[in-house]
Chain A
Amino acid sequence: MNPIDTIEAGDLKQGLPRLDPGDTVRVHVKVKETSVKEEKGGKAKETERERVQVFEGIIIGLRGSGARATMTVRKVSFGQGVERIFPLHSKTIEKIEVMKRAKVRRAKLYYLRDRKGKASRMKEKRDNA
């Protein structure tokens, strides 16, 4: 095995679903929050809390291989397009669920950025897998 693969092997996540451009996914991301609470005597106490946030959108591109692989997920939130790039093997990603698959004809769906509403609909792919 090439030495870089050896190093990356430890970081690779097992059991990732098959991901393709056009898939609608729900990404469960761990978010750390620190809240400062004032206690008696004027002392401030910092508490760190971890919770899971869900980001649902369409994969418009997959990039890289091994532990460096990332995906770009796009969603339209309150009429505003939002894109997030997730490192697939990051520990901050708890789970990726594939909700829907779509039939697409290219690897990068950047054309969706210029489309709104009805024009950004996609043909659903139903596979038996």
Chain B
Amino acid sequence: MAVSGIIAKKVGMTQVYAADGQAIPATVLEAGPCVVVQRKVKQSNGNRKDGYSAVQLGLVENRKTKRVSKAMLGHFKKADVPPCRVLREFRVDEGAEVKVGDKVSVAIFAQGDTVEITGTSKGKGFQGVVKRHHFRGGAATHGSMFHRAPGSIGASAFPSRVVKGMRAAGHMGSDRVTVKNLEVVRVDAEKNLMVVRGSVPGSAGGYVVINKRK
């Protein structure tokens, strides 16, 4: 299969035992099955079409047709696949033999592979500089009146403004995060399950994208 990635749902964390009895902290992912909903091509018949080569994968889940808009229903009907909630694009080579309707399963990964996992980190809301940027803050006691404030954010007359990129309080989390070099510990193609060593961005039940390491 030419597609080197898959859409998955994070199930949660546990630990598994390696052959030598070592306990490995692990994340369980429900990966796929996915279907190719659309094929993006660079050129067709000499004319520029999408401008790049990729496939659009959809994660197959039981989704009520009633809840899908007519426009999207047409998109799925064209590919003759069930309606999917999550669609993601994966780049493939120009000449790759991938057809619309093809299935992609966890079987593209094997134990011992290294993967990259991209997801949305847990939202932390509006946070101060101590939590968000690891500022040290001030003393709690001994007459200190400086606790968790950011302190000085620049000089006065010159430059008369705050320099761009100054770290400040604000929204934290809910970012797109990629964790690289995660080791695949187990693959269960029958149950569409995959276990990787370590943690994965986001909360349990969140959607992530798994890619083979480039």
Which residues does A use to contact B, with CB under 8 Å?
Answer: 2-4, 6-8, 11, 30, 66-68, 87, 89-92
Contact = CB atoms under 8 A, between A and B. Distances in A.
A67 B15 contact: yes
Give 8 nearest A-B pairs by CB, closest first: A91-B21, A92-B21, A3-B11, A11-B17, A4-B14, A4-B28, A7-B28, A3-B193
Contacts of A7: 14, 16, 26, 28, 186, 188, 193, 195
A11 B23 CA distance: 10
B30 interface: yes
Interface of B: 11-12, 14-17, 20-21, 23, 26, 28, 30, 186, 188, 191, 193, 195
Do most interface residues of chain B lie in helix, strand or loop, or is the interface mixed? Answer: strand
Contacts, number: 42
A118 to B, nearest CB: 38
A11 B19 CA distance: 11
Among the interface residues A2, A7, A90, which one has the most CB atoms of the partner chain B within 10 A? A7
B33 to A, nearest CB: 14
Contacts of A4: 11-12, 14, 28
A14 to B, nearest CB: 15
B135 to A, nearest CB: 36
A101 to B, nearest CB: 28
A6 B17 contact: no
A6 B191 contact: yes
16 contacts: A2-B11, A3-B11, A3-B30, A3-B193, A6-B188, A6-B191, A7-B16, A7-B28, A7-B186, A8-B14, A66-B14, A67-B14, A67-B15, A68-B14, A89-B17, A91-B17
